[in-house]
Amino acid sequence: MTRAVSALVISLEYRLAPEHRLPAAYEDAVETVLWVQSQARDPTGGDPWVAGHGDFSRCFLMGSSAGANMAYHAGLLATALELLPLRLLGLILNQPYFGGVERTPSETRSEEDIILPLRANDMLWRLALPMGADRDHEFCNPAVAVPPELRHLPSCLVKGYEGDPLVDRQREFAKMLEREGASVVALFDEGGFHAVELFDPATAEALFAEVRQFISGGC
């Protein structure tokens, strides 16, 4: 993807549940954004590769699946920060991992899904959410309580596939962003499944092309 979109990609290592429940991963993502800002403020004392090749005026947060959930929440937290000279231009949310207490039709159909069966999906949320929280917690179900920071988000690309058990959540999420006045590019393809781009090179290449178009301002 780095080659396909001509971007410098910084991948973070973050604390994992259940030892470190949410929002630990969100906090680590924001720390990474602040690290990039520190490179922009002092390029001579920072990482020479980032300083020499990065364009700090054109930064994007991207994640797939749980990573897209992280990118969204880190983007919300970042709206309260003074990031200059770094400029965050967009969020790229590939098959964002959201949920809720009430089942959607796509979740109900996923009891035997090969990638994300329903019981595994429920277990992952039990392990990741704060102790005592259910799937209508804001970390899981952003539609329950719209955060005021949402209107300050940069442009968002939301990508999904009809074969993903979470596709109904992703559509609902994209519509919520639009209702709240966010700039949204919602791309939903027929077929596919959760994390399909990891298994199908053609789908991966198509995703890279959509990301490239989005970051170039073409979407």
Annotation marks residue 164 as catalytic: yes
Annotation marks residue 47 as catalytic: no
Residue 190's CATH number = 3.40.50.1820
Q: Nearest Cα to 93, choosing from 162, 17, 219, 185?
A: 185
The H helix count followed by the E strand count for the chain is 8, 4
pLDDT at 132: 96
Domain count, the chain: 1
Q: List the alpha helices (DSSP H) in 79-136.
A: 105-108, 118-128
Annotate 154-166 with b (16+ C-beta within 10 A) or e (fewer). bbbbbbbbebbbb
Residue tagged active-site, from 106, 155, 164, 168: 164
pLDDT at 169: 98
> Could you list the residue range(s) of the whole structural domain that residue 35 is in?
2-215
pLDDT at 42: 87
- Other CB atoms within a 10 A radius of the CB of residue 212 amount to 16
- Strands (E) across 5-58 are located at none
The one-digit pLDDT tens for each residue of the chain (219 residues) are: 999 999 999 999 999 999 999 999 999 999 999 999 999 998 787 888 898 889 999 999 999 999 999 999 999 999 999 999 999 999 999 999 999 999 999 999 999 999 999 999 999 999 999 999 999 999 999 999 888 899 899 999 999 999 999 999 999 999 999 999 999 999 999 999 999 999 999 999 999 999 999 999 855
pLDDT at 219: 55
pLDDT at 39: 93
- Other CB atoms within a 10 A radius of the CB of residue 32 amount to 17
Question: Model's pTM, two decimal places?
Answer: 0.96
Residue tagged active-site, from 65, 106, 110, 155: 65
Is residue 85 helix, strand or coil?
coil
Annotation marks residue 106 as catalytic: no
Place of tokens 């009430």: 102
pLDDT at 108: 97
Q: Measured between alpha carbons, how far is 105 from 90 in angstroms, rounded to an integer? A: 30
